[in-house]
Chains A and B, each alone.
Chain A
């Protein structure tokens, strides 16, 4: 079985002998940039460099995927936000949004032609040409609440969650249209996995009940549009929402180190079987297609600041806790040492006796 089949099978719930070791979150690290010559910020806007850096950790450390892009501003950029493209170890950030309220938000006619969207689509093509059917290609996109927060201003969004929920609802409807267009365009290029990252949905920022009521239905709609394997990534202490995350239709859930894997597994057990009723996905309960847990090697404490031995120890404990797919807990810090990524792969190999 090649790496691609191994990951896709694992996500679709088939038994695999070897736990895949991948990243569904950003993989650009400075050491790899130096090795490949594909540096930030160029790799954000140049498809060749994006493909080179996106597959660099496979080439240099044996990580079992290519993953692009390296930031969460692609959609906001195409919607009309001003973006500071960052530097060698600084991710792009939104500096200004042209939208004051949800009624100003409109998906531009030429949305898919704007910003860097075509760069990402082109990079998927290049990766497919190079790695064909051997290496899984993972493409990240921004979740609806995070995008809405970028457009309205995150602080406004958080306040509106309570003071003007209708404003958030209508912003979500608009951004969902953009997200679906983008998801369709990505899927046309046939990568293997799409990862929707929605960090703003974390209970650290919003009430879990509001996640269920306002965000979950949109994630369900979005996951319906994704024809590849799909993973939902939400940062922070996601225990209070993991049951809801598990019935959004995603094949995998990516969580941070704050989430205890064995507890999370117990929590979502048998909740993956869903039906569509009245335009909504409902859990049947007791089904056998429970989403797979992806994670959750600490990106700051361990992969960034720890030693290779620290990484190995954590990998072992996470695998023992029963993680289905081994991955960093969040986007890699650009100054993370390559040796730590290698250690992550090695520890997985040692665990499986290979």
Chain B
């Protein structure tokens, strides 16, 4: 029998039967082939492998590359900023474009957090934080996927994120403001029934003479109109926008009023909700 190589040259490649779904959907596209991702991914090793591990949502791949890099004497800060974070930026780019979904975001987040922990071990301490942010899920609401993502992105972005958990009583939020004096706060709610906690918290803060530069509110049923119906608040659209909003407060001293006006600019992308 002829071997495959011989046969292949005789075959008319245009008439090879293609499985119908391959024909319909085209060849599988790997995430790293996406032009936006290519622009974000570092070219240099081992940063590229680290970023790719995060992009693939593969804890082992990411962690091994991080360990190798650290053993070779790379600075942990470079590993975080030029490797892990670039990988996460690429993931966000694909998520925004609708190629990645929540499961991808969560697995990549896991890979990044593992890499971050490993780097911090070498650093000997938690990496220098830019500021403290308090995150909570509204009272009565047990849904915390959104808040967990927010906390993950904040930590990855170099902030100290105080995670108050889910179904957090309003008084506990107020106490946390007193204790940590955060530069930013995030509140999330999935349910229409629980999002009413946000204006109550703001009211109580005002009664106690407390203030934060901004409270980012978001989640399932929360809409911009609702959030902007009370002061001190900003409607947060995507979890990965959080560190950018916090950055704008630290670096450019933005207030909640300014963030409401300049949201798209601050997060650096077109945001339909703010159009």
Listed in ascending order, the chain A residues whose CB lies under 8 Å from chain B are 89-91, 93-95, 154-155, 158-159, 161-163, 203-208, 210, 235, 240, 299-301, 304-305, 330, 333-335
Tell me the bound Cα distance from A96 to B197 in angstroms.
Answer: 24
A contact residues around B195 at 8 Å (CB): 300
Listed in ascending order, the chain B residues whose CB lies under 8 Å from chain A are 57, 98, 101-104, 106-107, 110, 140, 142-143, 145, 148, 191-193, 195-196, 220-221, 223, 225-226
A contact residues around B57 at 8 Å (CB): 162-163
Tell me the bound Cα distance from A159 to B192 in angstroms.
Answer: 26
A contact residues around B142 at 8 Å (CB): 93-95
A contact residues around B221 at 8 Å (CB): 299-300, 330
Given the contacts A159-B107, A205-B102, A207-B103, A90 and B192 also touching, CB distance less than 8 Å = no
B contact residues around A155 at 8 Å (CB): 106, 145, 148
* 13 cross-chain CB contacts under 8 A: A91-B193, A95-B142, A155-B106, A158-B106, A163-B57, A163-B107, A203-B101, A204-B102, A207-B101, A235-B220, A301-B226, A304-B192, A333-B192
Task: Say how far B245's CB is from chain A's closest CB, in angstroms.
Answer: 21
Tell me the bound Cα distance from A208 to B140 in angstroms.
Answer: 30
A contact residues around B140 at 8 Å (CB): 90
Given the contacts A155-B148, A162-B57, A300-B221, A335 and B103 also touching, CB distance less than 8 Å = no
CB distance B103 to A161 under 8 Å?
yes
Give the residue of B102, B148, B192 whose beta carbon is less than 8 angstroms from that of A300.
Answer: B192
Most buried by A among B107, B110, B148: B107
Give the residue of A94, A162, A333 whose beta carbon is less than 8 angstroms from that of B193.
Answer: A333
| The 7 residue pairs across chains A and B that have the minimum distance between CB atoms | A333-B192, A300-B192, A162-B103, A207-B101, A161-B103, A300-B221, A93-B142
Task: Say how far A177's CB is from chain B's closest CB, in angstroms.
Answer: 25
CB distance B104 to A89 under 8 Å?
no
Q: Closest residue of chain A to B144, judged by CB?
A: A155
CB distance B103 to A300 under 8 Å?
no
CB distance A305 to B226 under 8 Å?
yes
Tell me the bound Cα distance from A300 to B224 in angstroms.
Answer: 12
Tell me the bound Cα distance from A207 to B98 in angstroms.
Answer: 9
B contact residues around A163 at 8 Å (CB): 57, 103, 107
CB distance A206 to B101 under 8 Å?
yes
Task: Say how far A307's CB is from chain B's closest CB, in angstroms.
Answer: 13
Tell me the bound Cα distance from A299 to B148 in angstroms.
Answer: 26
Task: Say how far A172's CB is from chain B's closest CB, in angstroms.
Answer: 15
